[in-house]
Amino acid sequence: MSSPRLEIHLDRLHHNALSLNRRLARQGIALTGVSKACLGMPAIIRTWAEAGISSIGESRVDTLEGLRSTGIALPLVLIRSPLVSQVERVVATGAISLNSELAVLRLLAAAAARQGRRHGVVLMVELGDLREGFLAEDLQEAAGQTLALSSLDLVGIGANLGCQHGVAPDDRNMAELSGLATAIEAHHGVSLKWVSGGNSCNLAWLAAGGSRGRINHLRIGEALLLGRDPLSRQPIPGLLTNAIGLVAEVIEAKRKPSQAWGRCGQTSFAAQPTQGSDRGVRSRALLAVGEQDVDCTGLTPPGDLRIMGASSDHLVIEDPAGALVVGQDVPFELNYSALLRAMTSPFVQRTCLGLN
C-alpha cells in the first residue's frame, strides 16, 4: 500500500451515521449528510445511505454532477449559493440549493423554466455568524419574491452558525429562526418543509436540551465523519472519532541535537525563526508527508510522538522512545482541516476498510 494514505473505516462511518440519524429522528429532526470534506466520495455516501441517511449535501456543483454520474439516487442539496455562471448546471443536477441572493433565485427560476424542471430552494438567514444569509428583516420579502417565481419550490428556510465567527446555536437564535418560519407561513399561506437549523455545531445545543421549536432539519458533516463537535473539537458521546485516519511513512530516523545551529531567517512556512531550546540529543524521524498533502497542524500522532514542524513534503517528529524505523507506517488522527486538505491532495491515496 502506498502512503501517505487516508484509511477510511466504512464500518465506523456507518456506526456514526446510524447513531446520529436515529438520535435526531427521535427528536423529529431530519439529517442531510454533508460530504464536502470527502468530496462526495461514493463509498462514504453509499455507507451513509445504508445507515438511513436520506439526502446528501455538497458545496460544489462538480461534485453533485459526479454523484449523479455514479448513480447516487439520493436527493442532493447544494449547500453553497449557486454561482451565477453555474445556475444551469445546478438546476440540471436536480439538487435543492441554499440561497441568499434574489438575483441568483431569479436566474435559477429562469434556468428551471428553460429546462422544463422545478428547482427547490432553501432561503438562508443571517443569525449572527456573518457568513451567508438574508438579513432577518429582508427574509419575508425574499420569501414573497421566491414564491412568485413559478418554477421554484420554497422548500424551507435555514441558517448556518459556527463557521465564520464560531457563533454557537442557542435557544435565542434558534427561536428567531423558528419565528421567521412561522411568520413566513402565516403571511404567505404556505407550509415550509424544512426549518434547517444548522450544522454539526447544533448537536451540542440539542444534546444539552436546547428548545427545538420549529427546527426539523440539520446539515451534518464533521460529526458524521470525525465524531467531533466543531465548536469545542470534543468527541460527541456515542460517536467514533477514529473513522478516518492518515498514515505516513518514516523516511529518516536518527538521533540529532534538539537545537538548530547557524543564523536563522524565516522558515519555509513563514513561522517566526526559532532555534528551539537545547534539550540534548533526541530521537527524531522524518515522515514523507507535508503541507502538499495535509494541514499538518491538524494531525495528532499516536502515543508520545510529537510533531516538531512541517514543510511542503516533510513532517518532523520527535520520538522519545526512539522506536520508529525507516519504512514504518505511522497512523495519525486528523481534524476537519487536515481531512479536507488530504482529500483534495492528488498525492494522498484513499483506502476503504471495514467493508462487509
Rule CB under 6 A: which residues touch ligand PLP?
34, 36, 59, 79, 98, 160, 199-200, 219-223, 230
**Cell numbers describing residue 233:** 473539537
Q: How far is the CB of 52 from ligand PLP (least distance, A)?
A: 17
The minimum distance between CB 197 and ligand PLP, in angstroms, equals 10
Indicate the residue whose CB is closest to ligand PLP.
221
- Residue number with CB closer to ligand PLP (9 or 36): 36
Give min distance, CB of 167 to ligand PLP, in A: 13
The three cell numbers of residue 50 are 445504508
Cell numbers standing for residue 223: 460529526
C-beta of 328: minimal distance to ligand PLP in Å?
Answer: 32
Tell me, letter by letter, the H, E, C secondary structure of the chain: CCCCEEEEEHHHHHHHHHHHHHHHHHCCCEEEEECHHHCCCHHHHHHHHHCCCCCEEECCHHHHHHHHHCCCCCCEEECCCCCHHHHHHHHHHCCEEEECCHHHHHHHHHHHHHHCCCEEEEEEECCCCCCCCECHHHHHHHHHHHHCCCCEEEEEEECCCCCCCCCCCCHHHHHHHHHHHHHHHHHHCCCCCEEEEECCCHHHHHHCCCCCCCCCEEEECHHHHHCECCCCCCECCCCCCCCEEEEEEEEEEEEEECCCCCCCCCCCCCCCCCCCCCCCEEEEEEECCCCCCCCHHHEECCCCCEEEEECCCCEEEECCCCCCCCCCEEEEEECHHHHHHHHHCCCCEEEEECCC
- Indicate the residue among 21 and 59 with the shorter CB distance to ligand PLP: 59
CA distance 280 to 202: 47
Q: Return the number of the residue (5 or 219) whose C-beta is nearest ligand PLP.
A: 219
- The distance of closest approach from Cβ of residue 31 to ligand PLP in the complex, given in angstroms and rounded to an integer, is 10
In the complex, least distance from residue 36 CB atom to ligand PLP, rounded to whole angstroms: 6
Q: Which is nearer to ligand PLP, 3 or 81 (CB)?
A: 81
- Rounded Cα–Cα distance for residues 177 and 91 (Å): 27
Compare residues 119 and 219 and give the one whose CB is closer to ligand PLP: 219
Q: Which is nearer to ligand PLP, 37 or 91 (CB)?
A: 37
From the CB of 77, what's the least distance to ligand PLP, in Å?
A: 9
Which of 15/314 has CB closer to ligand PLP? 15
- Considering the complex, state which of residue 4 and residue 33 has its C-beta at the smaller distance from ligand PLP: 33
Residue 29 vs 305, nearer CB to ligand PLP:
29
**Residue 226: φ, ψ to 5°:** -120, -5
* Least distance between ligand PLP and beta carbon 162 (Å): 7
Give the Cα separation of 31 and 222 in Å (integer).
13
CB of 356 to ligand PLP, least distance (A): 26
